[in-house]
């Protein structure tokens, strides 16, 4: 029972809560007047978070390095970039909802901030481990050379004498570069997670300590879910001097831990096949489904019907291991055991001793509830299985080394993500995550979607990949998705899964410099600048540039139709839907609009559509008939080239047309 506060609200504490919700990395601890620690705000760090320039002063936060403030600035700094669609390298462009994006992941994450803000359920990344042998290439402007690092940490005194001896084996700059690289990316990644979203990061001993500290700052230490341990290799091969390293870590953080439901790690497809082929004896044991706990959570104190019809519930002081929905799943999967007893912790509806107890089957250490932090070997393969998988897909050519096995990612997806989740991997590598998403959709059903982001890092000219014709890692990743989709379709001929992907490539802005700084151009220079859009940009380039700015997903259906011979792009409707509209007619809700203003009686529901999110026309000249046709369809948004209107009166006329026909439509020009 809670006591009444009997005092006014602590406004300071409330304000700290608000700051913590927006900037968890700015919350620290200090010693209170009573000698006990209390929460406080690191105002220096908060000022840096709200500034687009590096603020002077000593960097003396609890965990810091030279370049930390610059990493914060870099994460918050806007960029003039765009994502250009590449249909020729895509698969099933018109129907797929998967994305493959080539480019520096820091800049790509910035571009995705509005379109995917709070929409990603799971982020998995396998960043460079910083072993000293990695050749990761990320063109961030805060990456330091020796001179800038030594200047930052005061390595030399006023007489240019070295203050301490250089130690190559533990060069702190080695860690500083890596910390800066990961810090800004995790800062941006957190924004993309849904409120019940989860981040999973593979890492080894080289940076596990730094990564955990960085993640604690960005996500808040209270949102650490767990650190899982994966048996990544055997102890074979050359014996080390001290101990064989056979494990790696998978750090798991939640956006808001209080919003997470119980994690669940079901059996892999291979394990299920094994159980159908072998005697199940010895492969599982029964685990208590009810246990002592004084929780008042009614979601874990419900009635269950036993085999003879008796309705049972936990005694006072006990709860079930799962909520009702999870129990029903276990029951359907045949993982529930009912056993007769006269002394169990269950009672009937009336409170009398029940005649049953309930157990959950536990296979090979796979708890039917929260998974173990030490992941059973039977649930995940080791590295050489992942590498062999890719080698087999590429006709026995070893195009990629140290590949995560597919079942590592499927295990994690099963554990944390729903069947319709968006799953992001911005260190895509050979695209194991994309392979895992398709595999899981085919095996277990669902419409999980992936977003892969990968820097087009060149392949070593001596590598098998380069000799086979793959010049960049991106080429390997895209080809792996194509081949994996084909293989999965052959293995699961009746399964329905999305084996396609839309390719986008990071590039400079679609707009010329005059668009951003018109004051720097005089009248004599304007004759060659009739259009502020770069000459090599297509209508599709411009359309996706608009989607990024307006916060619309890049995977929606779209098509093109014509009004008086002028192309109009429709976002949110595919060609088949459009063809279902007679004479280029769009209809939605109860309002019917015709492009040619002729009377038309629409078909009855269910052919009714909601309002079109976006219509775009990028023709050099747009006649008034086209303007009226677009306005008559009442889209939520409409966009045109600025140069398509002959003069200012023409622009004013467009505004008046939309005021008359579509007053709620947002109209913009680029």
Beta bridge partners of 360: 287, 336
Examine the domain organization and report whether 358 and 233 are in the same domain.
Answer: no
- How many other C-beta atoms can be found within 10 angstroms of the C-beta atom of residue 584? 16
* Whole-number Cα distances in Å, 237 to 83, 165, 246, 385, 664: 45, 37, 12, 16, 69
Domain-ending residue, one of 363, 387, 419? 363
Examine the domain organization and report whether 247 and 292 are in the same domain.
Answer: no
- Name the pTM for this structure: 0.75
Whether residue 207 lies inside any domain: the answer is yes
Burial 9-26 (b: 16+ CB within 10 A, else e): eeeeeeebeebbeebbbb
Whether residue 66 lies inside any domain: the answer is no
pLDDT-derived band at 450, boundaries 50, 70, 90: very high
Residue 332: the pLDDT is 87
Residue 261: the pLDDT is 77
Residue 569: the pLDDT is 93
What is the per-residue pLDDT across 504-518, written as a single tens digit (0 to 9) for each? Answer: 999 999 988 765 555
Question: At residue 141, does pLDDT exceed 50?
Answer: no
How are beta strands 586-588 and 666-669 bridged, if at all? unpaired
Examine the domain organization and report whether 441 and 541 are in the same domain.
Answer: no
Rg from Cα positions in the chain: 29
Examine the domain organization and report whether 138 and 96 are in the same domain.
Answer: yes
Percent of the chain with pLDDT over 90: 45
pLDDT-derived band at 291, boundaries 50, 70, 90: confident
Beta bridge partners of 178: none
Examine the domain organization and report whether 342 and 429 are in the same domain.
Answer: no
Quick one: CA dihedral 657, 659, 664, 669, positive or negative?
A: positive
Whether residue 161 lies inside any domain: the answer is no
Examine the domain organization and report whether 200 and 147 are in the same domain.
Answer: yes
Q: Does residue 606 have a cis peptide bond before it, meaning omega lies within 30 degrees of 0?
A: yes
Examine the domain organization and report whether 213 and 306 are in the same domain.
Answer: no
Answer yes or no: are the C-beta atoms of 460 and 466 closer than 8 Å.
yes
- How many other C-beta atoms can be found within 10 angstroms of the C-beta atom of residue 75? 20
Look up the domain containing 311 and give its range.
Answer: 284-363
CA torsion angle 73 75 78 82 (round to 10): 150
Examine the domain organization and report whether 203 and 258 are in the same domain.
Answer: yes
Question: At residue 26, does pLDDT exceed 70?
Answer: yes
Mean local confidence (pLDDT), 483-488: 96
CATH (domain of 118): 3.40.50.150
Examine the domain organization and report whether 382 and 357 are in the same domain.
Answer: no
Count how many Cα atoms sit within 13 Å of the Cα of residue 353 in the half-sphere of its side chain.
6
For 450, which DSSP code?
Answer: E
Q: How many domains does the chain have?
A: 4
Question: At residue 520, does pLDDT exceed 90?
Answer: no
Count how many Cα atoms sit within 13 Å of the Cα of residue 50 in the half-sphere of its side chain.
10
> Which of 609, 260, 270 is closest to 418 using CA atoms?
260
Whether residue 277 lies inside any domain: the answer is no
Of residues 61 and 616, more confidently modeled: 616
Choose the most confident range, by mean pLDDT, from 431-440, 596-605, 641-650.
Answer: 431-440
Question: At residue 62, does pLDDT exceed 70?
Answer: no
23 φ, ψ to 5°? -135, 75
Examine the domain organization and report whether 466 and 530 are in the same domain.
Answer: no
Whether residue 436 lies inside any domain: the answer is yes
Whether residue 5 lies inside any domain: the answer is yes
Answer yes or no: are the C-beta atoms of 252 and 227 closer than 8 Å.
yes
- Write the burial class of residue 57 (CB in 10 Å: 0-12 exposed, 13-18 middle, 19+ buried): exposed
Whether residue 463 lies inside any domain: the answer is yes
Examine the domain organization and report whether 254 and 216 are in the same domain.
Answer: yes
What is the per-residue pLDDT across 315-333, written as a single tens digit (0 to 9) for each? Answer: 988 889 888 888 888 888 7
How are beta strands 346-348 and 311-314 bridged, if at all? antiparallel
Examine the domain organization and report whether 559 and 641 are in the same domain.
Answer: yes
Lowest mean pLDDT among 166-175, 288-297, 533-542: 166-175
Residue 476: the pLDDT is 97
Domain-ending residue, one of 330, 363, 396? 363
Residue 237: the pLDDT is 59
> Which of 411, 404, 488, 406 is closest to 443 using CA atoms?
488
Q: Give, for 27, the enclosing helix (H) or strand (E).
A: strand 27-31
What is the per-residue pLDDT across 612-659, written as a single tens digit (0 to 9) for each? Answer: 788 999 998 898 999 999 998 888 889 998 888 877 888 888 999 999
Whether residue 258 lies inside any domain: the answer is yes
- By residue count, the chain amounts to 670
């Amino acid at each position: 029972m809670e006591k009444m506060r009997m005092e006014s609200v602590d406004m300071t504490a409330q304000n700290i809560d608000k700051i913590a919700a927006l900037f968890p990395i700015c919350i620290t601890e200090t010693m209170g007047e009573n000698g006990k620690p209390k929460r406080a705000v690191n105002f220096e760090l908060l000022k840096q978070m709200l500034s687009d320039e590096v603020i002077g002063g000593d960097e003396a936060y609890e965990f810091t390095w030279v370049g930390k403030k610059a990493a914060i600035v870099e994460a918050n700094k806007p960029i003039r970039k765009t994502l250009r669609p590449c249909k020729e390298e895509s698969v099933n462009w018109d129907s797929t909802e998967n994305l493959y994006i080539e480019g520096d992941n820091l800049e790509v994450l910035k571009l995705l901030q509005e379109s995917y803000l709070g929409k990603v359920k799971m982020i998995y990344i396998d960043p460079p481990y910083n072993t000293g042998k990695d050749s990761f290439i990320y063109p961030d402007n805060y990456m330091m050379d020796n001179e800038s690092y030594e200047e930052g940490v005061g390595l030399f005194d006023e007489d240019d004498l070295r203050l301490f001896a250089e130690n190559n084996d533990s060069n702190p700059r080695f860690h500083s570069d890596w910390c800066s690289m990961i810090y800004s990316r995790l800062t941006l990644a957190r924004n993309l997670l849904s409120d019940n979203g989860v981040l999973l990061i593979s890492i080894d001993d080289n940076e596990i300590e730094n990564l955990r500290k960085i993640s604690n700052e960005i996500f808040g230490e209270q949102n650490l879910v767990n650190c899982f341990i994966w048996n990544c290799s055997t102890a074979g091969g050359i014996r080390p001097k001290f101990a064989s390293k056979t494990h790696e870590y998978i750090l798991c953080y939640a956006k808001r831990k209080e919003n997470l439901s119980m994690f669940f790690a079901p059996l892999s497809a291979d394990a299920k096949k094994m159980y159908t082929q072998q005697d199940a004896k010895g492969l599982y044991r029964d685990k208590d489904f009810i246990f002592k706990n004084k929780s008042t959570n009614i979601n874990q104190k419900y009635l269950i019907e036993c085999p003879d019809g008796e309705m049972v519930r936990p005694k006072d002081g006990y709860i079930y291991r799962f909520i009702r929905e999870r129990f029903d799943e276990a029951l359907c999967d045949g993982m529930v055991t009912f056993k007769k007893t006269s002394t169990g912790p269950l009672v009937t509806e009336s409170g009398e001793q029940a005649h049953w107890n309930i157990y959950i089957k536990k296979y090979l250490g796979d708890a039917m509830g929260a998974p173990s932090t030490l992941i059973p070997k039977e649930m995940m393969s080791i590295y050489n299985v992942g590498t062999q998988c890719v080698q087999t897909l590429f006709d026995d050519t070893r195009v990629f080394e140290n590949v995560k096995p597919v079942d590592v990612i499927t295990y994690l997806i099963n554990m944390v993500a729903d069947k319709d989740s968006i799953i992001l991997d911005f260190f895509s590598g050979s695209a194991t995550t994309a392979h895992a998403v398709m595999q899981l959709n085919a095996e277990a059903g669902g419409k999980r979607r992936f977003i892969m982001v990968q820097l087009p890092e060149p392949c070593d000219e001596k590598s098998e990949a380069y000799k086979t014709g793959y010049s960049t890692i991106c080429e390997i990743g895209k080809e792996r998705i194509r081949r994996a989709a084909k293989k999965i379709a052959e293995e699961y001929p009746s399964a329905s899964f999305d084996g396609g992907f839309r390719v986008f490539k990071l590039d400079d802005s679609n707009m010329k410099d005059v668009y951003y700084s018109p004051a720097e151009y005089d009248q004599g220079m304007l004759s060659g600048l009739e259009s502020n859009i770069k000459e090599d940009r297509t209508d599709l380039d411009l359309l996706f540039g608009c989607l990024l700015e307006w916060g619309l997903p890049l995977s929606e259906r779209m098509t093109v139709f014509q009004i008086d011979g002028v192309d109009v792009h429709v976002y949110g409707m595919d060609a088949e839907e459009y063809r279902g509209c007679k004479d280029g007619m769009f209809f939605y809700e109860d309002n019917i609009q015709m492009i040619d203003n002729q009377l038309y009686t629409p078909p009855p529901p269910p052919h009714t559509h909601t309002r079109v999110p976006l219509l775009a026309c990028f023709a050099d000249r747009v006649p008034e008939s086209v303007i009226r046709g677009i306005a008559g369809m009442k889209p939520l948004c409409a966009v045109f080239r600025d140069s398509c209107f002959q003069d200012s009166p023409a622009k004013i006329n467009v505004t008046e047309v939309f005021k008359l026909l579509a007053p709620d439509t947002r109209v913009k020009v680029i």
